Structure 1
Amino acid sequence: MGGLAGNETLKGPAVFLAQFAGTEAPFNSLEGMCKWASDLGYKGIQIPTWECNLIDIDKAAESQVYCDELKGKVNSYGLEITELSTHLQGQLVAVNPAYDTMFDGFAPEAVRGNPKARTEWAIDFVKKSGTASARLGLNTHATFSGALMWHTVYPWPQRPNGLVDMGFAALAKRWLPILNHFDEQGVDVCYEIHPGEDLHDGISYERFLEATGNHARANLLYDPSHFVLQQLDYLAFIDIYHERIRAFHVKDAEFNPTGKQGVYGGYTDWKDRAGRFRSLGDGQVDFSGIFSKLTTYGLDLWAVMEWECCIKSSEQGAKEGAPFIKKHIIEAATRSFDDFAGGAIDEDYLKRILGI
């Protein structure tokens, strides 16, 4: 009863194009992927900025004409752009030297082997993506935080005193110029809370938020699959952080520990791990509970499928994703079921009921 003013119907279904983009048609062009997504029943697309066949960030940051044409092209297929994504470039904003070699592959050849130049390139690229987002009329942006401390997440030897404070201060120092730029553009930075990132759970996010002075643009991309793999209460997370959740990945996962392995997976391949990602509906995520909470809190979000499954084909996963999300989207109530008992306030009538 009551509280209906805050209800909001989630938008969707939408799809993150990153796991489907490729070198062959229709996955090698924006037009091809738009037609593919539209034919499958999707209403929105989240665009990975590292796929230059889909978007040219340099042009998008400089030219309103380019952005208008790109947006018009997407709209012509009955689609909207939900967000741009800089997951890979955001990762490169902060890379511990232990991971330099593996993460160099995400960077242009010109800055590989040069961590300082790579970081500067990543910061500049994410800023340009903020400008591009604003030109496209978007107010949210998806990314990763990067990681300076991840190699100490389960430490041996123990972390020295002051390391974590210094780490979050250093991470915030790299991100504050980006956050300030996004603030000027009127766009929220939505960090996907994810193992491998310094922002991997609620506590680490709060530490970062504190280090940025509770920056208004340092917000969240909610993806329950990563919480299943960490054994974190993903429904309670919404209760705690709903005011900061500005983006949503609909992604399934399961966790089946054995006598041989648990959260860390024993270095096994994805299909053999206790925790693994699944196609929508094949895992353990309580999406009915999630969609109910997000709707109850009145969050204005796109429900964006991110597909990663080590068992089912991407073709089947994409085909099943749109109807799965559509089935879970709740049309928010505009009136209470017992509105017949309401009406204008009559103080004399209320006093008679109370006997006063």
Structure 2
Amino acid sequence: MLRLNTQTFTACAAFILSACDSGAGSNQAVAAEEVAKTDTMASCSGSLPARFATAQDTTAYQAKALSHEGMVWVEGGTFAMGAADAEGRPDESPQHQVKVSGFWIDATEVTNAQFAEFVAATGYLTTAERAPDWEELKKQLPPGTPKPHDSLLVAASLVFNPPAQPVSLHNAAQWWSWKKGANWRHPQGPGSSIEGKENFPVVQVSWDDATAYAKWAGKRLPTEAEWEYAARGGMKAQVYPWGNEAVEQGKPKANTWQGSFPDHNTGWDKYQGLAPVMSFASNKYGLYDMAGNVWEWCSDWYAADYYQTVASGESVNPAGPGRSFDPQEPTVPKRVVRGGSFMCHDSYCKGYRVTSRMKSSADTGLENTGFRCVASK
């Protein structure tokens, strides 16, 4: 059973902060709390309120002809997936052998211009543009939870709201807030715009939105294995898509956070927030922003112990676990995101490492989350 954070429920347009209430669930919640005390990455996407909106039926959308324009062919092969160094988190190990078939992958993250073409062709409304469905929402709440006022069940999305001073890094709610009217067209809420930013990655898109776009484009979201294989760019035992040089050594290599997170970004890499795609050098496969800029949705469910279940033998084209399980939030189904974002800093979230895994509920949009697509041969 979920324990509802009433203040968050009211302030965040009736979305949920999940934790288990009793029995075994209570033990899991306590364990998750202990992890969060020592692992700042745990709060990077943990305890974000989930939306539980009803996904649109995309079966009626006419897929356009698949084009490989703007895509890169990646020859298949076998690689060691996961982390083998001290920086790897528990869900990144053990390192294990994986074989993937060749695939096409977008050279860049899907842009605002590309997503706008999809919306114009289909009339699609993103998750953030639709009010939460109370009938779906209440399924995630304790029986008898009263329905909130309709004024709270509004279209909204999560916006980065940096504090004015240093704060503890164990509570992401200090820099994320739900904002009415925030969506892919208005990433920071009413008054913000993507005008002139056609070549920036689209954000405030849920996993459902990304999947709908990919289906329309005749493509699909990458598996987590495909994503990591592509990010490595053919290199072995390297920490980042460009090699082993630290992100802030030498010249800027990715759009990340410099300074003190989350209150002060020096902008050393020339960007305070999102950057246009292709603003930094590609990896050896010709793929841009495989580190930083925005987190990227993968097709896989997230399970914290998945690597342990596939550690023996070689996995061939793995599609991830059959279901989601995040011990920090056992009741919230989540999908994998990869690659880090402009908000990643080594004091808090080194998500730009090629092995770094993060997760988010499929119906959640964020100002630092986008996607790219793949296609089989």
What is the TM-score with the length of structure 2 in the denominator?
0.23
- Rg (Cα) greater in structure: 1
Higher helix proportion, which one?
A: 1
Q: Larger RCO: Structure 1 or Structure 2 (Cα < 8 Å, ≥ 6 residues apart)? A: 2
Using structure 1 for the length normalisation, give the TM-score.
0.24
